[in-house]
């Protein structure tokens, strides 16, 4: 039994109905059509508990006395303080401020920026350099639109090298996510590298970063 008895209710309408949106037309059709009723049951049963999202940050209101000159002086003072108190990243202190994989120029592609994104129980961080059990990592690529990039990701713990993500040919754009995510296990520093080329087998440029355990 695969055919709808009349005009099928679209998945968008069914999902809205499953979320509680009032839709009088659906109830009578669902009562009469086992196929569409099965689709609604599939939607209701297909629940994937995604991790909680990071709360949105409200933009800070600018005060009237915040002139550009004052802002520049303040930024310089803060930067000077940051230089004085920044700790050695090799120590067990706060995470390094910049753990991006980096930017490279790739022949046939252009300027490519690669970034590691960490998902820790729903908290997304773009500057993470430490890993813990359960963290999910994704690689994000930014390259000139209308181009394409071949990306291969490797993770090495010094003894073995893994390729947790399938090599991917991406359509270039702003912050394009390499399909898939990976986790890091173990107790030591892992080196994550991403090689970028115009196509599989073409000359590649590689950028790496180190991830340390919490």
The footprint of another protein (CB under 8 A) covers: 2-4, 7-13, 15-16, 19, 35-36, 38-39, 42, 48, 50, 53-54, 56-57, 117, 119, 124, 138, 166-171, 175-177, 179-181
**Considering the complex, what minimum distance in angstroms separates the CB of residue 63 from another protein?**
23
Output the smallest distance, CB 116 to another protein, in A.
Answer: 13
Cβ proximity to another protein: between 48 and 80 the closer is 48
For 124, 127, 128, 135, 136, the CA distances from 132, given in Å and listed in that order, are 14, 15, 11, 6, 9
- Each as own residue / partner, the long-range contacts of residues 46-54 (CB below 8 Å, 24 or more positions apart, any chain) are 50/122, 51/119, 51/121, 51/122, 52/121, 52/122, 53/122, 54/122, 54/123, 54/124
Nearest to 18 by CA among 36, 52, 44, 46: 44
Asked if residue 155 lies in contact with residue 192, where contact means CB atoms within 8 angstroms, the answer is: yes
**What's the min distance (Å) between Cβ of 93 and another protein?**
27
> Least separation, in Å, of the C-beta of 114 and another protein?
15
In the complex with another protein, the residue whose CB is nearer, 72 or 148, is: 148
Tokens 């803060």 belong to which residue? 78
Q: Which is nearer to another protein, 39 or 196 (CB)?
A: 39
| Shorter beta-carbon distance to another protein: residue 119 or 135 | 119
């Amino acid at each position: 039994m695969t055919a709808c008895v009349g005009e099928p209710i679209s998945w968008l309408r069914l999902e809205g109905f499953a979320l509680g949106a009032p839709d009088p037309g659906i109830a009578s059709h669902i009562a009469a059509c086992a196929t569409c009723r099965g689709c609604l049951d599939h939607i209701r049963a297909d629940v994937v508990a995604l991790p909680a999202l990071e709360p949105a940050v409200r933009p800070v209101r600018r005060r009237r006395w915040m002139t550009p000159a004052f802002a520049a002086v303040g930024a310089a003072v803060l930067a000077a303080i940051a230089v004085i108190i920044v700790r050695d990243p090799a120590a067990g202190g706060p995470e390094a401020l910049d753990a991006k994989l980096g930017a490279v120029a790739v022949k046939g592609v252009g300027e490519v920026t690669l970034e590691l994104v960490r998902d820790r129980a729903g908290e997304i961080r773009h500057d993470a350099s430490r890993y813990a059990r359960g963290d999910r990592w994704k690689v994000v690529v930014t390259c000139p639109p209308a181009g394409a990039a071949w990306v291969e990701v490797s993770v090495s713990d010094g003894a073995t090298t893994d390729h947790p993500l399938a090599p991917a040919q991406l359509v270039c754009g702003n912050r394009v996510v390499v399909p898939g995510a990976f986790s890091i296990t173990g107790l030591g520093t892992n080196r994550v590298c991403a090689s970028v080329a115009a196509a599989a087998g073409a000359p590649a440029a590689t950028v790496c970063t180190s991830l340390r355990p919490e």
